[in-house]
A and B are shown apart, each in its own frame.
Chain A
């Protein structure tokens, strides 16, 4: 099996099994096993949603520490335009680039300029292209991986023009090796990244053997030192600084930044993974064929929304917009030489160096007949499940759990709602899985008022063991009790109690008898020594519903009966 590099790691020492990551993961790539989150590498697309949501900070992005640049004889910083978005009009790009050099990089490259070139290159490509539409931007590595995994049909529609960061690293290394008489491998190109996933595209590019970049440093790691390293700018140089900004490339930090450089084209932009899924579903169904180009980002608002930024998403988005407005107002339109770009385009300079292949998920079984059988089994198992997606089994939803069971990666007995005896044989199949930890075990009977969970204990035994007073129908106490339900809302009891349950309530009016009869409950226990109304006693006798009384409040008596039914009493 192929191994996939991921930029996300779970630190088991920190993980407390909160399951927030389990629920948020858009590709259902997380399972809780042995109370710790684990990531299924085949399904993970490195979107980083789990990093943001973990309350323990146990999911860590794998970026390079700042110190790694000393491993190279010559080091270059290539900041994502999202770094400029952290500062906006107050601190302009040339000051940021100078600050980076002060921090120890031998050089810093303005990626906005390369982005501008790529904007032109995309225009050139769209002019000649007549294949299936829309074409989809490949700047966001999560989107590329999403297509590989979930939309293999759309692989052919990924824009074949390489991402600016890769093109820039390749170009800079070529030039620096000539200028300083170095081997390319002696030059370290570091991307300053707004998100962990760029690390994946560096360690394991979707298309080519090796990335031109040597690492990625988190914007959040470099922000503090950079602030301290930047020199105040003299006022008279402000205009000159503005003039160095590429108006086409600066917008690449945010969603819509590429589309606005393709004005005559019918393009659209989308950000946020759930929104992207909707748009991709439409493309796959043959809609949106009238759109030439789609710019899609996993993070809300594009790269400014990456989890490794410092500034608030919306304020950094706004900072870029204001910067662009300023450039437009000042009529500054610095951008790359389009003739130069056309020449390079003709020489195939901008194209991806390899082919992006599909990475479809493993089918239920390699053999179709077996797969069909397993798919049916999954359906049957799913029918048995409570469908509340509680996550206690360690799978994100009942449907994924059914699939995990069919694939042999989980046992039916992991579901707290299933009747344990019935699934013991399946539970024993899995030797590598530890039993349910003692701390979570007590939840089982409380949640478990499912009618399949019959115990052999009768109401009479319960009456004796916990000391209940019999108010009515002593002759009907021989019935086995399937579980308990404690509630004072009749409609709740109607909805959620199960046949054979014993019901604990403080309600004393005659309607409780009707509810118990309708739901075929084993009996009613009035808590806190409450006395029934005379009508209630009368009805209980008439309908043959055992009526009992406990001196304890509901919490205590529930606890006692629960202990009995779970075999711990």
Chain B
């Protein structure tokens, strides 16, 4: 697979900017539609990307979301400079959230973010260092879902 076949795009996401929150996932969705990706894959990618984007907005100072699309798969990588996650296993549980009261009043922080990303992606990897930030990588296969999901 040559790099000619890969479409990449990088988005900067500002922490705390609830006004613009969600734009990146909409832009990625529109790109996938232009490329003729199947609606089911678009839906999963859009939901997972949105959750990742919101995590940056809610918890980090700044973050980067990177899209790479090849004829085989969509890969979303997210890097943030945020507080990091002390206990990833705990964070992966549905309903676990460290969101503030304020965020919850806005309808966020239901503790579904990370589980939702894992549920909607075919491959989900996360590394986090407290005080430094979090990196995560999600893969969505275009040929259909793999058995592991």
Contact = CB atoms under 8 A, between A and B. Distances in A.
Nearest to A368: B71
Given A368-B36, A371-B36, A285 B71 contact: no
A285 B39 contact: no
A85 B54 CA distance: 43
Contacts of A403: 34
A373 B4 contact: yes
Interface in A356-388: 358, 360-361, 363-366, 368-369, 371-373, 375-376, 379
B22 A364 contact: no
Contacts of A368: 35-36, 71, 142
A153 B43 contact: yes
Contacts of A358: 39
Nearest to B50: A285
B119 to A, nearest CB: 10
Contact of B47 (A285, A371, A376): A285
Contacts of B7: 372, 375-376
A364 B36 contact: yes
A361 B5 contact: no
Contacts, number: 59
A369 B5 contact: yes
A286 interface: yes
B34 A363 contact: yes
Contacts of A372: 5-7, 35, 69-71
A281 interface: yes
B42 A364 contact: no
Given A360-B39, A364-B36, A366-B36, A284 B29 contact: yes
Contact of B33 (A286, A361, A365, A376): A361
Interface residues of A, number: 23
Specify the main secondary structure of chain B where it touches its partner: helix
A265 interface: no
Contacts of B69: 372
A152 interface: yes
Given A281-B22, A285-B22, A375 B35 contact: yes
B42 A363 contact: no
A441 B57 CA distance: 47
Nearest to B142: A368
A451 interface: no
A355 to B, nearest CB: 15
B102 to A, nearest CB: 18
A468 B46 CA distance: 62
Contacts of B142: 368
A371 B35 contact: yes
B88 interface: no
Interface string B9-50: 100000000000010011001010111100110110011001
A230 to B, nearest CB: 49
Contact of B107 (A286, A287, A371, A373): A287
Contacts of A285: 22, 25, 46-47, 50
Interface of B: 4-7, 9, 22, 25-26, 29, 31, 33-36, 39-40, 42-43, 46-47, 50, 69-71, 107, 116, 142
Of all A-B residue pairs in the complex, the 4 with the closest CB atoms, nearest first, are A363-B36, A285-B50, A152-B39, A153-B43
11 contacts: A281-B26, A285-B25, A360-B33, A365-B36, A368-B35, A369-B5, A371-B34, A371-B35, A372-B70, A372-B71, A376-B7
Given A284-B46, A285-B46, A366-B36, 9 more contacts: A152-B39, A281-B22, A285-B22, A285-B47, A360-B39, A369-B71, A371-B35, A372-B70, A375-B34
